[in-house]
Structure 1
Amino acid sequence: MGEAHNLKRSLGFGSAISIVFGTIVGSGIFFKQGSVLDSAGTTGTAILAWVIGGIITLTGGLTIAEIGSQMPYTGGLYVYIENIYGRIPGFMAGWMQAVVYGPAIIGALVGFMSLMMANFFGLSASWRLPLAAISIILIAALNLLENRVGAAFSVITTIAKLIPIAVIIVCGIFWGHQDAFNQSLHEIGVHDGGFGVAVLATLFAYDGWILIANLGGEIKNAQKILPHAIVLGITAVLVVYTLITIATFRFLPAAKIHQLGDNTTSYLVTYIFGPLGGKLLSAGIIISMFGTLNGKILTFPRIVYAMAKRGDLPFSRFLSYVTPKGKSPVVATSFIAIMALLMTYFFDPDHLSDLCVFTVYCFYLMAFCGIFILRRRNQKPRPFSTPLYPWIPLISILGGLFVLISEVINDPAGVILFLGIVIVGLPIFYIVKKLERAENN
């Protein structure tokens, strides 16, 4: 079952930007309004938190776009860290995405999605886990086909998700009667975490933008398309998220959003359009989440594939297998699906969303710093250069430090657990390489 085939470069700009937009816009914007508002304390501060979270993400995207344009290969962050810092740091970045970040972010997404599905079908909370498992299995099965099928599904669901987003924005801004910028929770005694925690909560909703880099080896003319898709995709999401937040605050009073929590969006669409209209819009949001889930299950197996192709993982010969006709990494896809199912079972989505952002930002920070190393190494013209250098990379580094410090302060036990899982990868790497040398001898 050897790696006799390579992945196919068949994805164009439309597919790339749909994957960026579709992988980001999923559950976060629909389920994090309550927690962001609770931490911020006022609607105006909550809106600012969404804007700041978007700016941090955009500066990171602009920084990675320059790095990615010079390394348009399958594997994304794993490839970048290895090329900049060496073999072992690169392996740790790949291991983190394969066994912690990827499964955790899928588990968080599907956890929120199953809540909305249960509400949609009028099912009890006991159905959340079965619905989550069925969703992961269905989308993983779709991605066992060739990459164009998963990419096409991303394009379709991205178009579909624009309908409920546009409806919420237009109706909220033009027909809402609340003061979107000056409501406060202080009078009901709610203020949990502060502005920093509010920004941290938004970053889960913005995360996922780098996953398109995992498909670098499957994008046509990746040196040009990849950076443009990242930058335009994040910018579009920043605008959309800000408008959705303003629309939500225009329609619902702050106290009601606090009371509803994760159910804010389900209540909002029913409140605006009645039971039938609410059902239709809820269906559109669920389709949107399926598109995001598809983007993540499409991209994360490419990291496993890239690592296995290098012989960095146990059972690499199996994990690097791609189908002869469809060129799909079927074993790697199945591995990610199984890991995500385990995460979904053992952790609640809110906890997973915070911890997966912390874990990936450990390596984002390394990559952001890496742009300075690459510029010293390579004086040749680049396919894409980060504008306002060095200020944009410096802002992304400060944003990364903010994420790490905030999460360590707020959840030290979860941080230790997830970092422990990442560190376990180091002895595994040495064992795999020792067995590889023994086989070669």
Structure 2
Amino acid sequence: MQQKNDGLKKEVGTFAALATVMGTVIGGGVFFKVASVVSATQSAGLTLLVWLLGGFLTICAGLTSAELAAAIPVTGGAIKYIEYTYGKLPAYLFGWAQTLIYFPANIAALSIVFGSQVVSLMHLSNAAALPVAILAGLSITLINFLGAKAAGRLQSWALIFKLIPIVIIVLVGLFAPTSVTLSLLPSHSAHASLFSAFASGLLATMFAYDGWLGVGAIAGEMKHPEKDLPRAIGWGLAFITITYTLINLVFLKTLPISQLAGNLNAASESAIKLLGVMGGKLVTIGILISVYGAINGYSMTGMRVPLAMAEENSLPFSGFIRKVSNRTAAPYGAGILQFAIALLMMVLGNFDLLTDMIVFVMWIFSLLIFIAVFILRKREPNLMRPYRVPGYPVIPVIAIIGGIFILITTIVTQFTLAMIGLAATLLGIPVYYLTKKYYRN
């Protein structure tokens, strides 16, 4: 198969690629996943260990998937890698899972934590959290209906603000005196086995590291992908891993484990304790802007997946889903579909439930991508590869083992959730054939 380059200009250098990696991965999860991680581990040492290991697995995963990104630098990213290796149906299922689960669940989960943070900041009734969450998701959708330029401006400002609360909390927290007894030796609750605590904690961290799958999509626009891509992914994800570990160390230094476990307001409460009420509130506002920007990022990217599928008549009601505004060129049909699914998830789900489902479903396809590196090395040894994963086959094998571990852990600890995610994904098979038959006829 002849490679395409889609007319891409090779203008992206090392720094721009590094910024893309960090901007893609850093979202709202770092502020809110401490609650479920500590609930699982009940230990400062084990909490820090799973954050470090989660980062290591993410680095291996990013370096592995980047080989396909460099070898197949076409518009569409991961969907195209799967289609190139396995064919149309698996690629369709990936797009289907993104449309039905990944993007709406991200929007719903982040909207839920946005609502909970607003309620905490303004001392509102807990009953107001859901309406605020819905309003956040709806307002972002409407902003995106104004066009890509408006959504892009919001994203640019949010990228700046998302780093401010992290830097402040880490710099102040590391040197602040603490009254909390902190043991860095990995231990676990007497109510759970060490393996169970470790596995559940690791699974919980993976949402915060989500986004690495898209970092290789810029390979076709890089000046020197063979050098810059591994640098951007390796250094970018390593920096994120260190940052995530440090900010969780600050949380553990600032609040006792009993106040961190299950507490979605842990980040804002830590900021208030470190900086006082006014300083803490300012940091919380920074966190809210970061989360709002993350919702915008998923909304802006997400609505273009069903749009692309509908343009090929691959979805039911494709005629409506592919509708685009004549004035703003915004894909409002796909946007309405995306928000409708997210709204249902907001009403029925909660933050941890939705994020764990996202991790499970996406790692199914991530595994296919890791395995595709081996398949294409054997099937097409002469395929032009500007970048090859370093340490082959060790790093791809680590990524595969990590992916299998995450999937098995989810099935064992949250069987019903895993089956719902799997069933929703496999529902795409009859939809694929029925839709194909309908439009052919």
AA matched with 1:257: L
Farther-moved stretch of structure 1 (113-122 vs 17-26): 17-26
Q: Is 1:21 matched up with 2:22?
A: yes
Taking the aligned partners of 1:299 and 1:339, their CA distance within structure 2 comes to: 15
**Superposition map of 1:92-171 within 5 A:** 92-171=93-172
Counterpart of 1:246 in 2: which secondary structure? helix
- TM-score, length-scaled by structure 2: 0.88
Question: Structure 1 residues 212 and 408 mapped into 2: Cα distance closer, same or farther (>3 Å)?
Answer: same
1:359 aligns with 2:367: no
Residue 309 (str. 1) matches residue 311 (str. 2): yes
- CA distance in 2 between counterparts of 1:19 and 1:8 reads 17
Q: 1:342 aligns with which of 341, 344, 352?
A: 344
**Are residue 266 (structure 1) and residue 271 (structure 2) matched?**
no
- Calculate the TM-score normalised by the size of structure 1: 0.88
Map of 2:3 onto structure 1: none
The 1:235–1:186 alpha-carbon spacing in structure 2 relative to 1, beyond 3 Å, is closer
The answer to whether the 8 Å contact 1:180/1:246 transfers is no
Offset, 1:342 = 1.3
Partner of 1:283: 285
Structure 1: stretches of 5+ with no match in the other structure: 1-5
Aligned residues of 1:322 and 1:329 also touching (Cα < 8 A): yes
Q: CA deviation at 1:75?
A: 3.0
CA 1:18–1:153: 2 relative to 1, 3 Å: farther
Cα deviation, residue 190, structure 1: 8.1
Deviations 1:68-108 (A, max 9, x none): 22333343332221111011111111111110122112211
Alpha-carbon separation, structure 2, partners of 1:151 and 1:388: 37
CA 1:185/1:302 → structure 2, altered by over 3 Å: closer, same or farther?
same
Question: Aligned letter for 1:412?
Answer: F
2:321 corresponding residue in structure 1:
319
1:252 pairs with one of 255, 260, 268: 255
**8 Å Cα contact 2:324-2:330 kept in structure 1:** yes
Asked whether 1:406 is paired with 2:409, we answer yes
Q: Per-residue CA shift, 1:354-397, capped at 9, x if unaligned?
A: 11111111111111111112222142432322111111111110
Q: Is the 8 A contact 1:216 1:222 kept in 2?
A: no
- Whole-angstrom distance in 1 between the partners of 2:247 and 2:340: 33
Cα distance in structure 2, aligned partners of 1:321 and 1:401: 39
Match among 183, 208, 211 for residue 211 of structure 2? 208
Distance 1:231 1:185, change over 3 A: closer
CA–CA separation in structure 2 for the residues paired with 1:223 and 1:321? 38
- Match for residue 392 of structure 1 among 395, 398, 412: 395
Is the 1:81–1:367 Cα contact (8 Å) retained in structure 2? yes
Question: Distance in 2 between the 1:295 and 1:153 partners?
Answer: 9
Shift of the alpha carbon at 1:231?
A: 4.8
Write the letter of the residue equivalent to 1:404. Answer: L
Instruction: Say whether 1:36 aligns with 2:41.
Output: no
- Once residues 65 and 332 of structure 2 are traced to their aligned partners in structure 1, the CA distance between those partners, rounded to angstroms, is 28
- Percentage of pairs with the same residue: 33
Secondary structure of the structure 2 residue equivalent to 1:143: helix
The alpha-carbon distance between structure 1 residues 228 and 310, as it changes in their structure 2 partners (threshold 3 A), is farther
One-letter amino acid matched to 1:108: A
- Residue 333 of structure 1 and its aligned partner are, at CA, apart by 2.7
Q: 1:290-317 CA distances to partner (integer Å, 9 max, x unpaired)?
A: 1111111122223222322332112334
Q: Is the 8 A contact 1:16 1:229 kept in 2?
A: yes
Aligned length: 430
Of the structure 1 ranges 128-137 and 323-332, higher mean CA displacement relative to structure 2 is found in 323-332
Query: Secondary structure of the equivalent of 1:386?
Result: coil
Consecutive unaligned residues of structure 2, counting only runs of 5 or more, are 1-5
Query: Which whole-Å CA distance do the structure 1 matches of 2:416 and 2:164 have between them?
Result: 40
Offset of 1:437 from its aligned partner?
A: 1.7
